[in-house]
Amino acid sequence: MRYALISDIHANLPALEAVLADIARRPDVGAIYHLGDLVGYAPWPNEVIASLRDAGIPGVAGNYDSTVATDYKHCGCQYEEARQEELSHLSYEWTRAHVTAETKAFLGGLPFRIDLRPLGGHAAGPMVTLLHGNQVLNTVYVHEERPDGFLEKMANGVGARAGDVICFGHTHKPWHRVVAGIHFVNTGSVGRPKDGDWRAGYTLLEVRGDEPRVRVEFVRVEYDVERAAKAILESELPNDFAEYLRTGGKVTAGVNG
């Protein structure tokens, strides 16, 4: 079974369109799931959700989704300095003001986690779990640098065993580690990469009954980043966000998502 996993779209419609077109060219992909953070930072929150609904793509709630849906006081994002905090707040308020009631209801209805059994429920495993942050909160950043002990605790909380796969987003940087036989896969970001590569990112996950049982491929897709940058500049969203997209997060005034 081969999945396409798309995370942290953040209202970037051109990036989502490019990724969905790339996935459509791969007939071996059996299902697409999103890992949350559908809105925030770019000006197409309603369009992104309409597109996912049209395509019938299920997924989990990111911190941005659940905070917008419940009118929480901030997006649950992390920032390192006052300027970042200010931008984060502007973006959050812009998004809250522009989502339709329908979009908000959709965001509020997203599940916290999804468990898949790629080889069928009759077999004991493996299990693929989709989250946004960690198994308790969608605001927790699971960075690549986390110690093994942190990831083992996460696996225990999930109920994962050796051979299982835990997928998540939130940090906007793709990575794959195996700890205690469990695969930890950060699926990167479609609409707001932070690893210095401006191209839209998503992940192909293959789970098989024979070796190699788990295969992870990180895919990057060029998209019309200038269309996104122009729309940001023409909106009341902070102009800094345009440069953030063009540089893959390599500007100083970035906000974690």
Residues that bind Fe ion (CB under 5 A): 8, 37, 257
Residue type, 68: V
The type of residue at 218 is F
For residue 162, the minimal CB distance to Fe ion (Å) is 29
Nearest distance in Å: CB 256, Fe ion = 8
Q: How far is the CB of 215 from Fe ion (least distance, A)?
A: 25
Report, in Å, the least distance between residue 28 CB and Fe ion. Answer: 28
Q: Report which DSSP code applies to 41.
A: S
> Please, what is the angle between helix 225-234 and helix 240-247, to 10°?
170
Distance of CA 107 to the CA centre of its chain: 14
DSSP letters spanning 10-26? TT-HHHHHHHHHHHHT-
Rounded to a whole number of angstroms, the minimum distance from the CB of residue 26 to Fe ion is: 24
Name the residue nearer to Fe ion (CB basis): 36 or 118: 36
Which residue of the chain is nearest Fe ion when measured via CB? 257
Report the distance separating Cα 65 and Cα 84, nearest Å. Answer: 20
- Six token digits for residue 155: 């696996």
User: Amino acid identity of 29?
Assistant: V
Beta carbon nearer to Fe ion, 104 or 182: 104
- Beta bridge partners, 33, equal 5
Q: In terms of CB distance, is 118 or 249 closer to Fe ion? A: 249
Choose between 8 and 17: whose C-beta lies nearer to Fe ion: 8
Q: Which alpha helices (H) appear in 25-81, and where do they start and end?
A: 45-55, 63-69
Of the pair 254, 257, the CB lying nearest Fe ion is at: 257
